[in-house]
Structure 1
Amino acid sequence: MMTAARPGHSSHPALVLPVLGLVGVIGTLMQTMVLPLLPQMPGIFGVSPSAASWIATSTMLVGAIGAPLFGWLGDRFGLRGMIVLAMALLAVGSLLAAVSDRLWLMLLGRVLQGFAVGTIGLSMALLRQIWGPERLPMAVGFMSGTIGIGASLGVPLAGVIVEIGSWRTIFWIVGVLAGLTAALIMVFVPGAKPLSRKRFDFIGALGLGLVLMLLMLPLTMLADGSLSMMHGALLMGAGFVILSLWALFEVRLPQPFVDIRLFRLPVIAGSQFVAVMLGFSFITNFMGTITVTQMPVGPDAGLGLSVLGTGLVHLPASLVSIITPTLAGMLLRVRGARVAVLVGLGAAALSCVGRMIFLTDPVMVAIAGMFSSGALNFAFAALPVALMMAAPIDQQGSVNGVNLLCRQVGSSSGSVICGVLIASLIDFNGISGAGAFHAMFGLSLICSLAALAVVARSFPKV
């Protein structure tokens, strides 16, 4: 049975949630703002497109490994300290990327930035400790929604910043904001006494890192064509074998790095599955919008817009992402997590139909993207509440870290599949049909419906 931690105290309690919300937005912005720049990076650094793709891949891999690691460290040594450390690494990494003139220096900066991925899970776990369960739904709903806010704002902000400055300006801005945010956390956010006294499971952590490398690295390399399908399948097969051995090892330990026994709880297992499906749907809709806006105009699909134009089309999705976490929090307090997640997933499924239809009109593309983004962010905001209410209080950080990892796995899988569909069905130098978008948004529809079924079956009625 869970027991609440003793609440922390702040001289400015009204600023705690906005400061932690800023952490979530900045941590997500650093992932998405670089995406519109990727086509320019081979020319900037004089490397191949495959080599330049590591600018995005390195951050994603480190984030997937770092989220559960920082979650465990937060449970053991203090959640606030790990948030500050992650923000400091993000600031240093951003500054290195801003001054980089070689690819290796850019990659070093992006690796350091990747540790900020876990800050949202750490922030939600900290709120659970310092505020207790009664204020959790609204606060955690808002924090989880910052993932969508940061992801949606990244593209339009990058377009505007590049127009008035340069690609380096993006990293300077993120670096300064990260440093200021670290300072704000130390001043306004109270700490909480660590509740875990577990010894560090080095073999478990190392094994999880190896599994993630073997599963996610082939996905990213398949997406850019730098790995054959056969070699990718072999690596991923080895990853699944090691994953099975790792799970057997972890379940036998009294103090494991990831407590596999918690997955016996339907809510926790279901939440992780839903996170994978949401991650897949989110990246599919995100890449679908960028692709349809930048591809040449055609009778069935294509808008032929610039990076700035892409940002403007994406702007309604960014704005609705700011509103939906609050709406989700209101429904969470009245009807609970199960109903809130079901509403978000149901709306996401319906929006996929509109996304498959509207592919030639910028206004309708923007509206369809807005509804899709709003629905997914609504579900994103509500999901962690169900997870955290079921997890032990001394494992909040690690459980949230695994949930973020599941989102990354879903996003990586979606990125690969979308990349294959785009490469095989879309000609950026000519006119293309709508087949790629029907496939992408159709898969997103399937993911939403699958998650809907799991939530209906595994989440308790309140």
Structure 2
Amino acid sequence: MSLPTPLTAEAEDSAGRRTDVLVTVLAFTGIAVALVQTLIIPIIPHLPEYLHASASDAAWALTATLLCGAVATPVMGRLGDMYGKRRMLLVGVAMLVVGSVICALSESLAPMIVGRALQGLAHGVIPLGVSILRDEVPAARLPVSTAVMLGSLGVGGALGLPGSAMIADAFDWHILFWTSAALGALALLLVMLFVPESKARPGGRVDIPGAVGMGISLICLLFVVSKGADWGWSSGTTLGVLAVALIVLPFWGWFELRTPQPMVDLRASAHPQILFTHLAGVAFGFSLFALNLVLPQVLQLPKITGYGLGESLATAGLAMAPQGMVMMAVAPLSARVTKTRGPKTTLMIGAVTVGVGYLLIMVLMSATWTLILASCVVAMGVGFGYAALPTLVMSSVPASQTAAANSLNTLMRSIGTTTSSALAGVLLAHMTIDFHGVELPSENGLRAVLALGVGAAALALAVASFIPRHRPDAAVTPADAIAEKVGLRPAADAD
């Protein structure tokens, strides 16, 4: 094996700096997108007043983002593989900016729903960013770069709640969306300046029938999950929407299996490593929601209930902020485990850690600081799991399918989170206490939701155990191949 020349060493240093800049820009973009998901939470109780609408109608400001994000994520991933990941990344961030400006100018419900729907189109940015890393980052640095990118989700979510609460308290609520627009505009500029376009672009034909069929199926299923409790689980509306999903979904699958360039490659998704990784993603997404639901409620419920801590919304938001920092902080550790033991082990460690964290929360609910400590254990497990999932996906698909496969895994996590939300809502609606004429979640109800989180973590561990093992050093990224060709890195079999 030939030794690198001084020029080669200098070139590798330059490549390393470019990688650092790329990861930083993509992580910042991820933070900007994650902020949108928590941006609106502090003003939800006031939306009917702000938008001159009923509470049920105002809830569409949340539902529109969920539905558009679910449909757009896999579509943008597939288009990114075909026509350029950077190009679709720019489209997603641009939609975030446009949607934020529309929301900032809104005084009624209709434009707010339009703006929030456009913001939902940005949900595909995270898997696109991870896929760009595969194209541009050497395999040795890919696990830690991926972990940092996924950690940005936690940072954005953790900073979004307290930051939004403080802005909403001190300024007009429209400032929230102007802030989102400004962050999105900065992310857009940084992506244009520092993110290169992928060279792995096979092109092809857009599977419009597949996209439409998938969209109808997803929207109907998510409607049932998210609105079933409001409509009534046995109502004609709920059963009718569910029937549409159950009718369209098999026909969509039949069509996708027979089209030469499908929107979702179902045959590839049936590969054991990809299939069980997607199922683990559903379980992880399911488990994560328990923390986001229970922690704010325990912190804010009145002390007189005997289990609430009586904190303000701003304090509750600050108490959740360390979770995001922990997710980012464990990135190097999760990457080390992935490189030495493989992403399957990293995923299983994450599942065990999440389960232990929820058990700790169940016994440490009596003080704010103990609750924060236990929630950080959950966040550590989420950081491990979220870093492992895209690594498992990318090690199983060619570079030309990276964005589509990552986007589908992101969708699986979202489905898990949405399902968890519906099930937890049903539990808490039936396990309440009467507090001066107001129904509040009971302590047993909150513990039941935490138990769901433990069960979902156990399910993720069980599913992960079925993922076939592969060598941790087997992956070669497009960046490695290019470096080999130009002489920046000797070939693996050189002597």
The TM-score bracket by the shorter chain reads over 0.9
In the alignment, the residues of structure 1 paired with residue 198 and residue 406 of structure 2 have an alpha-carbon distance, to the nearest angstrom, of 17
Q: Say which of 64, 70, 85 aligns to 2:70.
A: 64
In the alignment, the residues of structure 1 paired with residue 470 and residue 358 of structure 2 have an alpha-carbon distance, to the nearest angstrom, of 27
Kindly indicate whether the alpha-carbon contact (under 8 Å) linking 2:151 and 2:324 is maintained by their aligned counterparts in 1. no
Distance 1:447 1:235, change over 3 A: same
In the alignment, the residues of structure 2 paired with residue 149 and residue 248 of structure 1 have an alpha-carbon distance, to the nearest angstrom, of 40
Name the aligned partner's letter for residue 438 of structure 1.
R
Q: CA deviation at 1:341?
A: 0.8
Kindly indicate whether the alpha-carbon contact (under 8 Å) linking 1:337 and 1:382 is maintained by their aligned counterparts in 2. yes
In the alignment, the residues of structure 1 paired with residue 163 and residue 327 of structure 2 have an alpha-carbon distance, to the nearest angstrom, of 14
- 1:33 is matched with 39
- 1:326 is matched with 332
In the alignment, the residues of structure 2 paired with residue 447 and residue 282 of structure 1 have an alpha-carbon distance, to the nearest angstrom, of 9
1:454 aligns with 2:463: yes
Deviates more, 1:179-188 or 1:134-143: 134-143
- 1:5 is matched with none
- 1:347 is matched with 353
Structure 2 counterparts to residues 40-189 of structure 1, below 5 A: 40-189=46-195
The alignment's TM-score, normalised by the length of structure 1, stands at: 0.93
Q: Number of residues paired by the alignment? A: 455
Q: Which runs of 5+ in 1 are unaligned?
A: 1-8
In the alignment, the residues of structure 2 paired with residue 431 and residue 115 of structure 1 have an alpha-carbon distance, to the nearest angstrom, of 34
Distance 1:13 1:358, change over 3 A: closer
Q: Say which of 451, 454, 457 aligns to 1:445.
A: 454
1:240 aligns with 2:246: yes
Name the aligned partner's letter for residue 321 of structure 1.
M
Kindly indicate whether the alpha-carbon contact (under 8 Å) linking 2:155 and 2:321 is maintained by their aligned counterparts in 1. no
- 2:234 is matched with 229
Structure 2 counterparts to residues 202-221 of structure 1, below 5 A: 202-221=208-227
Name the aligned partner's letter for residue 381 of structure 2.
A
Q: Say which of 406, 412, 422 aligns to 2:412.
A: 406
- 1:276 is matched with 282
Q: CA deviation at 1:299?
A: 5.2
Distance 1:374 1:15, change over 3 A: same
Distance 1:136 1:364, change over 3 A: same
In the alignment, the residues of structure 2 paired with residue 318 and residue 426 of structure 1 have an alpha-carbon distance, to the nearest angstrom, of 30
Name the aligned partner's letter for residue 234 of structure 2.
M
- 1:316 is matched with 322
SS at match of 1:458: coil
Kindly indicate whether the alpha-carbon contact (under 8 Å) linking 1:50 and 1:226 is maintained by their aligned counterparts in 2. no
Name the aligned partner's letter for residue 114 of structure 2.
L
In the alignment, the residues of structure 2 paired with residue 130 and residue 204 of structure 1 have an alpha-carbon distance, to the nearest angstrom, of 30
Kindly indicate whether the alpha-carbon contact (under 8 Å) linking 1:345 and 1:451 is maintained by their aligned counterparts in 2. yes
Kindly indicate whether the alpha-carbon contact (under 8 Å) linking 1:153 and 1:315 is maintained by their aligned counterparts in 2. yes
Q: CA deviation at 1:300?
A: 4.5
1:252 aligns with 2:258: yes
- 1:367 is matched with 373
Name the aligned partner's letter for residue 258 of structure 1.
V
Kindly indicate whether the alpha-carbon contact (under 8 Å) linking 2:428 and 2:441 is maintained by their aligned counterparts in 1. no
- 2:312 is matched with 306
For residues 107-133 of structure 1, give each alpha carbon's deviation from its aligned partner in whole angstroms, at most 9, with x where no partner exists: 111011011101011111111112243
The alignment's TM-score, normalised by the length of structure 2, stands at: 0.87
Name the aligned partner's letter for residue 253 of structure 1.
T
Share of identical aligned residues, percent? 30
Kindly indicate whether the alpha-carbon contact (under 8 Å) linking 2:358 and 2:375 is maintained by their aligned counterparts in 1. no
Q: Which runs of 5+ in 2 are unaligned?
A: 1-14, 472-495
Name the aligned partner's letter for residue 454 of structure 2.
L
- Deviating above 6 A after TM superposition, structure 1's stretches of 4 or more consecutive aligned residues are none
Distance 1:232 1:14, change over 3 A: same
Larger Rg: 2
In the alignment, the residues of structure 1 paired with residue 134 and residue 274 of structure 2 have an alpha-carbon distance, to the nearest angstrom, of 17
1:421 aligns with 2:427: yes
In the alignment, the residues of structure 1 paired with residue 363 and residue 247 of structure 2 have an alpha-carbon distance, to the nearest angstrom, of 41
Name the aligned partner's letter for residue 454 of structure 1.
V
Deviates more, 1:232-241 or 1:147-156: 232-241
Kindly indicate whether the alpha-carbon contact (under 8 Å) linking 2:348 and 2:465 is maintained by their aligned counterparts in 1. yes
Q: CA deviation at 1:159?
A: 2.0
In the alignment, the residues of structure 2 paired with residue 54 and residue 414 of structure 1 have an alpha-carbon distance, to the nearest angstrom, of 19
Query: CA RMSD of the aligned region, Å?
Result: 2.1
Distance 1:422 1:167, change over 3 A: farther
In the alignment, the residues of structure 2 paired with residue 355 and residue 436 of structure 1 have an alpha-carbon distance, to the nearest angstrom, of 14
